[in-house]
């Protein structure tokens, strides 16, 4: 699990100190910040990108594939095969706990697949839709927050409205989701990042997944966009397993409700991986039917090289252990610096994820934007405050997403140390009035 934890109280919380001590603390932090600006830092924690060392792990792909035929004898250089090559679909079906017939292997971007599915729902409606979504008076999505900014951007682009629910260590608040979905027919779907969620690292439990899969909904074609982007990105040897949402939905009589997405973008090459979509057999046929109006087949050569590179589902797991060896120390450094600098002061709490790409930092209400601005002036780029909320509006101005994977380890330590200085100064300013 990835609980948000208040660190051990080793100092008197700042808010409980008398005014003169807070003023002195503020003066000290202003001096520390001036010294920080003088260091001339140029560090970036804005996006969860793989580091070059992670990309190097997949350089064997550059010499693959060996031969041009897949296992079925299909010439991958030619047209056809909208659903992708069989061996790669089987491999990732095993990893995603679904059947090969429920999986489509596509291009390099699962985000593109999400846009395609939304577009098809908008223009044509889904397997279980009465009409295209564009014919509805209003379409709304439930968004667990903090969440993934690109999900919200995609909804904004369509003009789809949003309603938020809290994201806890075990997943989205199921009571809040169920109440909303049952009461409003304009609510057509929701986003879920089920395993090591962006940015909290939350892991949706089987129990919550079952409730989401089985709950009554006012819209008969309600969809769960199950974005399993980080399913294999473990930071510890204890590997979380994703909830089996497709089986749960089928058992509840809602087989077409979940649409799952995944990709190798952070497994092999971010710009040249393979993306996957999974759902009911009918959903897969619905997707490929619409896809076929504008495509004749994916890059099967890239799919073949990936199948040969991994060899088996266990090959994927073994490959991800190599990723863990590179990035886990960076997350350890984040935890160490945050604890040493902020622990016990009552000015921040943060997640300690067991997988994924992010740490979610909550600072004093009303100071997140100030922290980001201070960090920018000191040479440390952070994701904008509020990015983890629809329209970039964090109602409490408290959440900051930290992305430690891309920089080298010494730079991660330096960047987080700088961020803590900004957190302390912003907190002192607020408490001093």
Q: What is the pLDDT of residues 402-411, one digit of tens each?
A: 999 999 999 9
Structure tokens at 196: 């090591």
Whether the per-residue pLDDT at 352 is higher than 60: the answer is: yes
Q: State the pLDDT at residue 7.
A: 37
- The residue among 397, 396, 420 whose CA lies nearest residue 335 is 420
What residues does CATH 3.90.1150.10 cover in the chain?
4-55+317-431
Q: State the pLDDT at residue 280.
A: 98
Whether the per-residue pLDDT at 6 is higher than 60: the answer is: no
* Residue 35, SS3 per DSSP: helix
Q: What is the pLDDT of residues 108-149, one digit of tens each?
A: 999 999 999 999 999 999 999 999 999 999 999 999 999 999
Q: Please report which helix (H) or strand (E) contains residue 190, including its range.
A: strand 187-192
How much of the chain, in percent, has pLDDT values that exceed 90?
97
Q: What is the pLDDT of residues 302-324, one digit of tens each?
A: 999 999 999 999 999 999 999 99
Q: State the pLDDT at residue 8.
A: 34
Average of per-residue pLDDT across 84-96: 97
The mean pLDDT value of the chain amounts to 96
Helices (H) and strands (E) in the chain, counts: 13, 14
Task: Determine the CATH number of domain 72-312.
Answer: 3.40.640.10
Report residue 4's pLDDT band, with 50, 70 and 90 as the boundaries: very low
Whether the per-residue pLDDT at 337 is higher than 60: the answer is: yes
What residues does CATH 3.40.640.10 cover in the chain?
72-312
Q: What is the pLDDT of residues 40-83, one digit of tens each?
A: 999 999 989 999 999 999 999 999 999 999 999 999 999 999 99
Distance CA 148, CA 157 (A): 15
Q: Would you say 200 and 360 are in contact if contact means Cβ atoms under 8 Å apart?
A: yes
CATH of the domain spanning 4-55+317-431, picked from 3.40.190.290, 3.40.720.10, 3.90.1150.10, 2.60.40.1890: 3.90.1150.10
How much of the chain, in percent, has pLDDT values that exceed 70?
97
Report residue 32's pLDDT band, with 50, 70 and 90 as the boundaries: very high
Structure tokens at 246: 């497709």
Q: State the pLDDT at residue 433.
A: 84
Structure tokens at 346: 């009552």
State the pTM of this model: 0.94
Distance CA 40, CA 47 (A): 21
Average of per-residue pLDDT across 186-215: 98
* Residue 43, SS3 per DSSP: strand
Question: Which residues, in sequence order, are bridge partners of residue 30?
Answer: none
Distance CA 418, CA 156 (A): 33
Distance CA 266, CA 198 (A): 14
Q: What is the pLDDT of residues 204-214, one digit of tens each?
A: 999 999 999 99
Whether the per-residue pLDDT at 10 is higher than 70: the answer is: no
User: What's the Cα-to-Cα distance from 383 to each of 58, 149, 354, 429, rounded to whole Å?
Assistant: 28, 10, 21, 22
Report residue 5's pLDDT band, with 50, 70 and 90 as the boundaries: very low
Contacts 24+ apart (CB under 8 A), 78-83: 78/297, 79/296, 79/297, 80/296, 80/297, 81/297, 81/298, 81/300, 82/288, 82/291, 82/292, 82/295, 82/296, 82/297, 82/298, 83/284, 83/288
Average of per-residue pLDDT across 182-198: 98
| Angle between helices 19-37 and 409-431 in degrees, nearest 10 | 140
- The residue among 212, 217, 219, 206 whose CA lies nearest residue 192 is 212
């Amino acid at each position: 699990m990835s609980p948000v934890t208040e660190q051990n109280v080793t100092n008197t919380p700042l808010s409980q100190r008398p005014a003169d001590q807070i003023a002195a603390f503020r003066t000290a932090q202003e001096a520390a910040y001036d010294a920080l600006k003088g260091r001339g830092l140029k560090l970036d924690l804005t996006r969860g990108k793989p580091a070059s060392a992670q990309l190097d792990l997949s350089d064997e792909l550059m010499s693959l594939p060996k031969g041009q035929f897949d296992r079925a004898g299909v010439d991958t250089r030619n047209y056809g095969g909208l659903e992708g090559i069989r061996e790669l679909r089987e491999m990732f079906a095993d990893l995603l706990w679904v059947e090969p017939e429920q999986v489509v292997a596509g291009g390099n971007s699962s985000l593109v697949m999400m846009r395609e599915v939304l577009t098809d729902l908008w223009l044509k409606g889904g397997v279980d839709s009465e009409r295209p979504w564009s014919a509805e008076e209003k379409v709304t999505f439930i968004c667990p927050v903090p969440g993934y900014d690109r999900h919200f951007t995609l909804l904004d682009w369509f003009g789809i409205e949003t309603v938020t629910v809290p994201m806890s260590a075990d997943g989205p608040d199921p009571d809040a989701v169920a109440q909303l979905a049952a009461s409003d027919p304009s609510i057509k779907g929701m986003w879920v990042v089920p395993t090591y969620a962006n940015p909290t690292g939350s892991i949706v439990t089987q129990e919550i997944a079952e409730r989401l899969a089985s709950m009554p909904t006012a819209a008969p074609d309600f969809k769960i966009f199950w974005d399993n982007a980080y399913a294999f990105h473990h930071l510890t040897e204890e590997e979380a397993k994703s909830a089996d949402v497709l089986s749960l939905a089928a058992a509840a009589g809602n087989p077409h409700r979940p649409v799952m997405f995944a990709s190798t973008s952070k497994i092999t090459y971010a710009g040249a991986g393979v993306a996957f979509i999974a759902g009911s057999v009918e959903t897969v046929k619905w997707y490929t039917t619409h896809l076929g109006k504008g495509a004749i087949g994916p890059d099967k050569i890239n799919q073949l090289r990936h199948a040969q590179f991994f060899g088996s589902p266990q090959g994927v797991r073994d490959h991800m252990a190599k990723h863990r060896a590179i990035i886990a120390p960076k997350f350890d450094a984040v935890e160490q610096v945050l604890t040493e600098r902020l622990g016990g002061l009552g000015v921040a709490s943060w997640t300690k994820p067991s997988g994924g790409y992010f740490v979610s930092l909550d600072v004093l209400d009303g100071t997140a934007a100030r922290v980001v601005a201070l960090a920018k002036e000191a040479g440390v780029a952070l994701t904008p405050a509020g990015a983890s909320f629809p329209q970039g509006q964090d109602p409490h101005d408290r959440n900051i997403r930290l992305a430690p994977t891309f920089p080298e380890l010494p730079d991660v330590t330096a960047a987080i140390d700088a961020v803590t200085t900004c957190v302390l100064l912003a907190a002192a300013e607020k408490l001093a009035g």
